[in-house]
């Protein structure tokens, strides 16, 4: 498959839009921004793309474009890159595998936390409970749940930092 090329931009788009969106969603965590960034990637990338580019070349190019687009997004929003897209990926990227390590990473991260910290993050982030719902689920006050959530996030961020460095 490595020598295969796409017949036209339409095929490039249809084959790659889902993984580009997933990649972006995994880096910004919200739908409106993930959609805007995905649109920008394709608007930017489809223009100068070569007719003869192979499928892996196209995917690599889309990924590099996504990396630039994301960096510029964070630069504008936060003045720094909160998340980034890694360059060192295998030559042949299977679209399905792009964002697949994220759940594992999160699971490992949560496992390192004390029970009540893990629980509040699971309820709020993974299960989309409101603060009130999460508080009642855990048998604590709403104010308590808020404090727990932010302490848990701080600890998760610290432990994530230690794990990578």
- Contacts with another protein, residue ranges (CB under 8 A): 6, 8-10, 12-14, 17-18, 21-22, 25-36, 38-40, 42-51, 53, 65, 68-69, 72, 76-80, 82-83, 99, 102-103, 105-106, 109, 121, 124-128, 149-150, 153-154, 156-158, 160-161
3-state secondary structure (DSSP) of residue 28? helix
Closest approach of another protein to the CB of residue 36, in Å: 6
Q: Least distance from C-beta 88 to another protein, angstroms?
A: 19
Give the CA count within 13 Å in the CB-facing half-sphere of 45: 27
Q: Do you know the residue count of the chain? A: 165
Give the burial class of 94: count Cβ atoms within 10 A of its Cβ; 0-12 exposed, 13-18 middle, 19 or more buried.
exposed
Question: CA triplet 71, 108, 158: central angle to 5 degrees?
Answer: 60
Q: Taking the complex as a whole, how short is the minimal distance between the CB of residue 86 and another protein, in angstroms?
A: 14
State in Å, rounded, how far the first CA of the chain is from the last one: 37
**Comparison of 4 and 14: residue with beta carbon closer to another protein:** 14
Between the CA atoms of 27, 33, 36 and 40, what dihedral angle is there, to the nearest 10 degrees? -30
- Of 45 and 135, the one with the shorter C-beta distance to another protein is 45
Query: Residue 91 CB, nearest distance to another protein (Å)?
Result: 20
CA 69 to chain centre: 14
Name the minimum Å distance from CB 20 to another protein. Answer: 9
H-run or E-run covering 40: helix 31-46
57 vs 140, which CB is nearer to another protein?
57
Please, which residue, 79 or 139, has the CB nearer to another protein?
A: 79
Select 40 or 59, whichever has its Cβ closest to another protein. Answer: 40
């Amino acid at each position: 498959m490595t020598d295969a090329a796409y017949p036209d931009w339409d095929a490039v788009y249809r084959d790659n839009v889902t993984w580009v969106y997933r990649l972006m969603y995994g880096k910004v965590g919200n739908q409106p921004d993930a959609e805007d960034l995905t649109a920008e990637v394709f608007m930017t990338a489809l223009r100068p793309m070569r007719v003869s580019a192979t499928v892996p070349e196209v995917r690599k190019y889309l990924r590099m474009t996504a990396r630039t687009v994301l960096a510029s997004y964070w630069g504008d929003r936060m003045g720094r890159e909160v998340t980034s897209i890694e360059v060192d990926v295998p030559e042949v990227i299977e679209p399905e595998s792009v964002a697949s390590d994220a759940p594992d990473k999160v699971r490992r991260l949560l496992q390192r936390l004390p029970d009540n910290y893990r629980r509040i993050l699971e309820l709020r982030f993974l299960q989309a409970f409101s603060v009130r719902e999460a508080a009642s689920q855990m048998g604590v006050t709403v104010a308590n749940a808020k404090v727990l959530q932010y302490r848990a996030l701080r600890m998760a961020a610290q432990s994530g930092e230690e794990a990578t460095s």
